[in-house]
Amino acid sequence: MKVLLTGATGYIGRRLKQELLKDANISLRVFVRNKQALDHIPKGSLEIVEGSSFDTLKLDEAMKDIDVAYYLIHSLTSENYAKLDHQSAQNFRDAAIKAGVKKIIYLGGLGVVDENISKHLLSRIETGEALSLYKDKIDVIWFRAGVIIGSGSASFEIIRNLIQKLPVLITPKWVRVRAQPIGIDDIISYLSAAKEHSISGTHIVDIGSEILSYGEMMRQCAEVMGLKRLIIPVPFLSIGLSSYWLNIFTPVPFQVARSLIDGLKSEVVIQNDNAKKLFANITPISFKKSVEKALFEAEQNQVISRWSDSGADVWKIDHKDSIAEAVFIDEQIIQIKESEAQAVFDVFCSIGGENGWFAYDLLWEIRGFIDKLFGGVGLSRGRRSQTTLRKGDSLDFWKVVDIVEGKRLLLFAQMKLPGKAWLEFRIDKDKLIQRAYFLPSGVLGRLYWFSLLVLHYFVFRDMINSIYKKAKEHK
């Protein structure tokens, strides 16, 4: 069976890709906007077609000889995502029909169309409708899931952070809304099993575990984490306030928080029993079990994907060219012994997250908090893994855009800035070079850089010294 996977750099797609790669009976092709964002993949195990779903020629190339095509594309971060997602689904469907693909498998959101429906859910429904418009020409299995619980999922990180950080939770009305969460491993089981299913026409399959209110999910999560928390519900719902609250206390930025909270106005429960009928051998695990698994994976540094993984905007930039145009550069160089190079590399690659920024951590925290106040991502995204890094990883308010084993780490700033910024660590034989680049936009950008000159002087100087000191200690 020849399978096409889209969204392979996203939260669900990365995990599904790993699952599909285990199956010796399928030949897997991925369709990605930038192959740099894929994890390291053994040569020959995977075909890659680079392109966007708005490029119909590339879609034709990707669909050639395909039997089953997964549609896991999602562009929530764009302003006009509803229009884009609809167009993208139409292009995908048309290319699949043209190429004679037998089946499309899509995962959308759970929920019904009513006066409270969120813009995001409506767009996910319109996407499913576009994919399944020609029922006689192509089969479609359209899964619908609500809250996904798994290491690195946005919903789980929100619940976990609120529970971890706040001993008393004053919770708005939405915590009483009922939902039907599902563990990420069950999602992957359903998606993977669907490729074998011989059905005709379109089948909407709602998936989920037990029905719980968000308040109950918080209580159960606290129980699993062994924490005593006081949850005080209040009878009003303020979407704006709740979104700011989540933005400050959890890793998700304002826009993501807002779209999630917006979806909490109405119930998100299963509307059909197709999962039991069509996938009788899959029984979703309980919410508590999914939380246990998610916590375990995070503790063991085994998080395969995170909600913040995808990031086309980051790859749209030609970092080499843009860095060359940087107006301001803070360069620090220290002499190292060549024999220390690997230890130095390991130390600078361990930067961020629980390991901190090696100097003036409080200043980094304050900068992260200011970023959060402006709706940015802040520092709380942390690291996917405390021990490994890959291209595309989010790292506090940075994104890893280049990593060359033993030589270089390049981070691109995703905080709110009047310009573009990079932080680079490089080993050049017996030198450790650390550079902060800034490409300001307009006068504001220049003022920003000059106002931070003194702080930067101390922060960057101490950062490089501490990296080297740590490397010598570890060697």
Ligand X SMILES: NC(=O)c1ccc[n+]([C@@H]2O[C@H](COP(=O)([O-])OP(=O)(O)OC[C@H]3O[C@@H](n4cnc5c(N)ncnc54)[C@H](OP(=O)(O)O)[C@@H]3O)[C@@H](O)[C@H]2O)c1
* Residues lying near ligand X in the complex (CB under 6 A): 6-7, 9-13, 33-34, 37, 52-54, 72-76, 88, 107-109, 124, 145, 148, 153-155, 309-312
Cβ 191 to ligand X shortest distance, Å: 9
Q: What are the structure tokens assigned to 86, written together?
A: 């609809």
- Cβ 137 vs Cβ 230: under 8 Å: no
Cβ 430 to ligand X shortest distance, Å: 37
CA–CA distance, 234 with 216 (Å, rounded to integer): 15
* 178-179/212-213 β-pairing: antiparallel
- Cβ 398 vs Cβ 423: under 8 Å: yes
Q: What are the structure tokens assigned to 234, written together?
A: 């209040």
- Cβ 19 vs Cβ 188: under 8 Å: yes
Instruction: Please give the helix or strand (H or E) that residue 107 lies within, else none.
Output: strand 103-109
**In the complex with ligand X, which residue's Cβ is closer, 154 or 162?**
154
Q: With CA atoms as reference, report the closest residue to 35 among 17, 19, 54.
A: 17
The rounded radius of gyration (Å) of the Cα atoms in the chain is: 23
Q: Which residues lie across from 437 on neighbouring strands?
A: 329, 422
**In the complex with ligand X, which residue's Cβ is closer, 267 or 330?**
267
Cβ 345 to ligand X shortest distance, Å: 26
- Cβ 63 vs Cβ 95: under 8 Å: yes
**In the complex with ligand X, which residue's Cβ is closer, 9 or 434?**
9
Cβ 128 to ligand X shortest distance, Å: 9
φ, ψ for residue 106 (rounded to 5)? -130, 140
Coil, helix or strand for 309?
Answer: coil
**In the complex with ligand X, which residue's Cβ is closer, 206 or 330?**
206
| Burial of 371: CB neighbours in 10 Å, binned 0-12, 13-18, 19+ | buried
Q: With CA atoms as reference, report the closest residue to 13 among 293, 382, 309.
A: 309
Residue nearest ligand X (C-beta atom):
10
Q: With CA atoms as reference, report the closest residue to 335 among 442, 472, 212.
A: 472
**In the complex with ligand X, which residue's Cβ is closer, 153 or 243?**
153
What single letter denotes the amino acid at residue 284?
P
Q: With CA atoms as reference, report the closest residue to 347 among 338, 357, 337.
A: 357
Cβ 152 to ligand X shortest distance, Å: 9
Cβ 390 to ligand X shortest distance, Å: 13
What single letter denotes the amino acid at residue 308?
S
**In the complex with ligand X, which residue's Cβ is closer, 124 or 383?**
124
**In the complex with ligand X, which residue's Cβ is closer, 43 or 316?**
316
Q: What are the structure tokens assigned to 148, written together?
A: 């996904």
**In the complex with ligand X, which residue's Cβ is closer, 98 or 474?**
98
Cβ 69 to ligand X shortest distance, Å: 12
**In the complex with ligand X, which residue's Cβ is closer, 109 or 378?**
109
**In the complex with ligand X, which residue's Cβ is closer, 181 or 445?**
181
CA–CA distance, 306 with 309 (Å, rounded to integer): 5
Cβ 339 to ligand X shortest distance, Å: 38
CA–CA distance, 259 with 243 (Å, rounded to integer): 8
b (16+ CB within 10 A) / e for 351-364: bbbeebbbbbeeeb
Residue 242 exposure: Cα atoms within 13 Å on the Cβ side: 24
Cβ 391 to ligand X shortest distance, Å: 11
Instruction: Please give the helix or strand (H or E) that residue 2 lies within, else none.
Output: strand 2-6
Cβ 455 to ligand X shortest distance, Å: 33
Cβ 184 to ligand X shortest distance, Å: 8
**In the complex with ligand X, which residue's Cβ is closer, 32 or 432?**
32
Q: What is the DSSP secondary structure assignment for residue 291, as one 8-state letter?
A: H
Cβ 259 to ligand X shortest distance, Å: 11
Q: Which residues lie across from 227 on neighbouring strands?
A: none
CA–CA distance, 56 with 422 (Å, rounded to integer): 34
